[in-house]
Amino acid sequence: MRTYIDIHILQTVPPSNLNRDDAGTPKQAVYGGVKRARVSSQAWKRATRVAFGEHLDESQLGTRTKKISGLLTERIAARGLDDPEACRRIAKALLADLGKVNDNKKESKKDTETAYLLFFGRPQLERLVDLIEPDLAQLAKLDETALATSLGHVSVKKILGAGHPIDVALFGRMVADLPDLNVDAATQVAHALSTHPAEVEFDYFTAVDDENPKGETGAGMIGTVEFQSATFYRYATVGLHQLADNLGGDVDATVEALRVFLTAFTTSMPTGHGNSFAHRTLPNLVTIAVRGDQPVNLVAAFENPVRTSLRDDDPGILATSINRFAAELSAAATVWGHRPALVASTYRPSAATPDLVAALGKAIPFETVVKTVTAAARERLTDGGR
């Protein structure tokens, strides 16, 4: 049963530089004919993956690295083989199964890093070592040729191709030279865009040398950092059916992965220049829609940029953005017939106008939103939801 979980977030962020380009400038995009603040999907996906560690033990999660050889060597040593060189040779022989991916042409990196960043689960490495642990003492005595023969039955590709941790199942994996290792992502994340025009500003700063003689003036350092503030529209969608497939059809694992993703994506924040701006905020609106038709990004609500007149009766950018979003959600259902099976929202009850409640539902705590959505997901994954 096709099921998509759409996550819509409106979030105000003060002066900050969450995600910068190669020149240090906050990333931007032109949308609706005006320049907007932007945070790339990669930046927020990275922040979300880091936040997974607050909800699950790191040993149960994945890692994206070129250093699989070093990690595998450490795990072999942890099983009692007290010979660093033998551990390294066994790891190298095991990873030969990865072919070109393991063939780093840079001489300084040879035998220590793979050619590509690999995204895999730490538990998968443990399962790989489980297969050879009884034979480690004998394997340590073999040369490279004999090792290759003795380990020929062990398939790293097979181990990495099954039993994925939730982050690999959610975000997928693409390896051009080993397509059989590819995992279709269950999650799509949009670039966050400001709902309004946003300009980049400059903070000119100076730093005083604390050891200057008394009375000496002048700065020990001067510089500038670019920043902007914005009300962002954030969007992501989870293909629940794809997530379940990536997790081997395990309903409990799928529902838990969804719970962790909803919580981590909603509350995470990219850390760029975090110490300079202390920019971490919480969302002002979270709406999660369970759909059986297709994912629906509602950014069109802000194609005509929100503007403020600064009059006393002006509701402001955030309130206007919330109302625009609610209207767009209703319009998608009315005009196109894309009506969600369930809508659950968190926002301030004081903002609950009749139109808002009609579109977004009654405001409920975020924890209740997550419980409501995961219960609906479980129902759709079982026979009772078919």
Residues 6+ apart with CB under 8 A from 87: 73, 74, 76, 77, 81
Higher pLDDT, residue 175 or 49: 49
User: Of 165-174, 205-214, 244-253, where does mean pLDDT reach its minimum?
Assistant: 205-214
Q: What mean pLDDT comes out for the span 121-145? A: 93
pLDDT band at 239 (very low <50, low <70, confident <90, very high): very high
- In one-letter notation, the amino acid at residue 157 is K
Per residue in 103-128, pLDDT (tens digit) is 766 655 556 788 888 999 999 999 99
Is it the case that residue 177 has pLDDT exceeding 90?
A: no
Closest CA to 331 of 303, 364, 372: 303
Per residue in 316-372, pLDDT (tens digit) is 999 999 999 999 999 999 999 889 999 999 999 887 889 999 999 999 999 999 999
Q: What mean pLDDT comes out for the span 276-302? A: 96
Centroid of chain to Cα 242: 17
Percent of the chain with pLDDT over 70: 97
Is it the case that residue 149 has pLDDT exceeding 60?
A: yes
Q: What mean pLDDT comes out for the span 126-155? A: 92
Sort residue 42 into left (φ over 0), alpha (ψ -120 to 50) or beta. Answer: alpha
Number of Cβ within a 10 Å radius of residue 151: 21
Q: What mean pLDDT comes out for the span 309-313? A: 74
Percent of the chain with pLDDT over 90: 77
Average predicted confidence (pLDDT) for the chain: 92
Dump the DSSP string for 7-21. EEEEEEEEEE-SSB-
Is it the case that residue 386 has pLDDT exceeding 70?
A: no
| Residue 24 contacts residue 225 (beta carbons within 8 Å) | yes
Query: What pLDDT, on a 0 to 100 scale, did the predictor assign at position 209?
Result: 86
